[in-house]
Amino acid sequence: MAYLKFNTRLSSLGKLDRKFLLGFQKEFQKILWNAIGINALCFFDETNPKAVEIYKIPKGVYNFKKRKYCTFPLFTFSRDALLKAIKRADSDTLVKVLVITDAPLYKRNVDGPIFSDIECGNDIAIVSTSGMKGYPRGPKSIRQRLLKESLYLVGRMIGLPNCMNEGCAMKHAKNIDDIDKKNKAYCNDCLNRLYGGKI
Ligand SMILES: [Zn+2]
């Protein structure tokens, strides 16, 4: 990567619980340190580690026919969070935004369920816990599934393509079983892409 530091600014939309979100942030931070390195930070608010930003889903985003929320206007809505985070960061820091929601999502022109989506500029990604319902704890819990999908989204935002290697966090998941099979880490091929000057 051309940047020395990497910030993932978290933002939440909908009705997810503050405690759940803070727990997620803590664990995701550790995963990023292991996967990318010590200069990868993840936070809701860089000035207050205990603050969690939870927004109401903006009106007009819900599609009554599909009974889901369209990702496209949610990216537009989250642009403010990105601009704020870029303004506060040093010039040698790459900044991306990860929006976490409990709302069921759909992507324009795509049929079928999706867990997540990335805006075309690769600066903002959104991930939903809807459809991730699982065991309260352990590898098949909502939290673990959310962590794995988030690591995939961060990888995509920093330029990693989908990976075919079994267990790699960058393998595209079409369903819950696919997510469960992944590790919370990038494989060596992906790490080589990230640090071998290919991105
Ligand atoms: Zn890989």
Residue list, CB under 5 A from ion ligand 1: 163, 165, 168, 170, 187, 189-190
- The Å distance, Cα 141 to ligand 1 centre, comes to 23
Q: Is residue 17 within 8 Å of 101, Cβ to Cβ?
A: no
Q: In this structure, what CATH number is given to the domain that contains residue 156?
A: 3.40.390.10
Reported as a single tens digit per residue, the pLDDT across 115-129 is 999 999 999 999 999
Which domain covers residue 56, as residue numbers? 5-195
Domain count, the chain: 1
Reported as a single tens digit per residue, the pLDDT across 61-97 is 999 999 999 999 999 999 999 999 999 998 889 999 9
Q: Is residue 143 within 8 Å of 116, Cβ to Cβ?
A: no
Amino acid at 38: I
Q: Is residue 86 within 8 Å of 5, Cβ to Cβ?
A: no
- The Å distance, Cα 189 to ligand 1 centre, comes to 5
- The Å distance, Cα 126 to ligand 1 centre, comes to 21
The model's pTM is: 0.94
